[in-house]
Structure 1
Amino acid sequence: MNILKKVILIDDDQINNFVCESIIKNERFAEEVQSFEWAENALDYLKNTAVQQPEAFPDLIFLDINMPGMDGWSFIEEYKQIPEEVTKNCCLFMLSSAVDRKDIISAKSLKEVKDFFSKPLSPEILSFIKEEFICS
């Protein structure tokens, strides 16, 4: 049984997105997974969903930090503008290959970010999320 309805991946690495989608589907973690290689496109999608179909807003977002154009930090600043009544049931996680301790501390200090995970996504990370953030 799938745990979530919809998960969004925001990462400029197409191969990483494919791997993440496969893991999420194989673990039956979500009914639907949608990937965006550009944070701007993901943000447009989320803003439109918030206005047109707030009930279809994703349950969970995995966000990379280092991307061309809009990076993860800029994305979060814009994400904060989406009404909280829409985003309150969405868990936002940083999923990044960045290992800079400052990035990890900064991510965890933001109320919008539930946690920070290092790539690659794994069944263990999904299990941890399920136990700590979804079924708690």
Structure 2
Amino acid sequence: MINTVLCIDDDFTTQFLTKILLNDAGIGGNFVTANNGREALDYLHNLLSKNINDKNVPQLILLDLNMPIMDGWEFLDHYSKNYANKLPLVKVYINSSSIDPKDYEKAKTYSCVKDFISKPLNENFVHVLKATLE
């Protein structure tokens, strides 16, 4: 079950629509947003410094690639190195508007990334996500 979703995206409309889509599907009661990778890493660091069993530790991370301050690739580099082994049950999905095949291939090099989903998220993704949770 997914109690907490971390949406890392600098676009507030995407954050809002993602929250509505997941809430309507009954996924993730707690929806946390970060506007860039740095904010997300700070959030994870603060949570893990308190208690790794905290209910606010996300089970699902939706990650945009193109963001200011720290982009999705930089986040994945830090996350893979410092958090992926501490949070092995977290599912990371890249959610990007990129259509560059190089981005798809690069995403496959990160073992923590479950899939690359094109924006916008839709009900098909929700069905696939629910199926992986069952």
Trace 1:47-126 onto structure 2 (pairs within 5 A). Answer: 47-56=45-54, 57-126=57-126
Deviation string, structure 1 residues 9-44 (Cα, Å, up to 9, x no partner) = 000101110000111111111111111112211110
Q: Which amino acid aligns with 2:128?
A: F
Q: Is the contact between residue 47 and residue 82 of structure 1 (CA under 8 Å) also seen in structure 2?
A: no
Partner of 1:28: 26
Identical positions, percent: 32
| Higher helix residue share | 1
Runs of 4+ in 1 over 6 A off after TM superposition: none
Q: Which amino acid aligns with 2:2?
A: L
Deviation string, structure 1 residues 70-91 (Cα, Å, up to 9, x no partner) = 1101001111233445310100
Q: Which amino acid aligns with 2:107?
A: A
- Does 1:129 find its partner at 2:129? yes
In the alignment, the residues of structure 2 paired with residue 35 and residue 63 of structure 1 have an alpha-carbon distance, to the nearest angstrom, of: 10
In the alignment, the residues of structure 1 paired with residue 130 and residue 24 of structure 2 have an alpha-carbon distance, to the nearest angstrom, of: 15
Pairs aligned (count): 132
TM-score after normalising by structure 2: 0.92
Root-mean-square deviation (CA, aligned residues, Å) is 1.3
For structure 1, the residue ranges without an aligned partner over 5 or more in a row are: none
For structure 2, the residue ranges without an aligned partner over 5 or more in a row are: none
In the alignment, the residues of structure 2 paired with residue 50 and residue 115 of structure 1 have an alpha-carbon distance, to the nearest angstrom, of: 25
TM-score after normalising by structure 1: 0.90
